[in-house]
Amino acid sequence: MTKVLWNNLAEARPEFDTDATSDGEALIEYAGRNCYQSWTKPNPATATIGGYLANIRTQGHFSVYEHTNVTFDFQGVSRSLTHELIRHRHFSFSELSQRFVNMEDASMVTPPALVGNDPTGMLVDAREFCRTVYAGLVEVLVGRGKPRKQAREAARAVMPNMTETKIVVTGNLRAWRHFIKVRGSIHADAEIRVAAYGVANWLIELFPDAMADVEFEMQDGYQCVRISHSE
């Protein structure tokens, strides 16, 4: 929700017409035009939302992208992924708590390189071993009088990075562009690269003009994301 605050002595806000297909893109345009009071759109090249946002990207004025926020709910991802995700400090996070949630039956996320590539079953053995040790530690600690929350917070130490988690992430569009730029790269971790690819697809669907410079390409057999204009 955008709240407009007025000074009683200020002039009334001029009519703002836009051909943007989403409120998020309309907000970006409004913020940009507000800087220069260019409400009449005198330049035909930037009169449309597509042309206006293309010029914003060319000029590198990405601060106006920060007014539009997007929230993603990541499900079925590993703690390995979220350990990297939380390094993006312009995001806000709410992640599943291993102190409160029982990890004994937690799902495990197989790293992409190991999908169909574990002929000896070592990965499966590791999963079961960790679950068994976790359950045993919780039982012992609860039996010694520890509250279940304290027992779980101690026992979670044996759970591997591939333990499945859930996390809600909110960030502005500028921050999400940076995320898909660095995490959609061939140099990024394979699991988070898949996530960045999904985020990019959703953002393109939500904001086609704001994300018009995002492209997908194959590199070394992997689907990667490329952004033409970045900071």
Which residues are known to be catalytic?
A: 183
List strand residue ranges (DSSP E) for 79-219, in order.
92-95, 164-172, 214-219
CA distance readout (Å), 120 to 95, 149, 162: 33, 36, 18
Q: What angle do CA 66, 9, 16 make, to 5 degrees?
A: 45
167: enclosing H helix or E strand: strand 164-172
In 3D, which of 154, 169, 162, 168 has the Cα closest to residue 106? 162
Coil, strand, or helix at residue 108?
Answer: strand
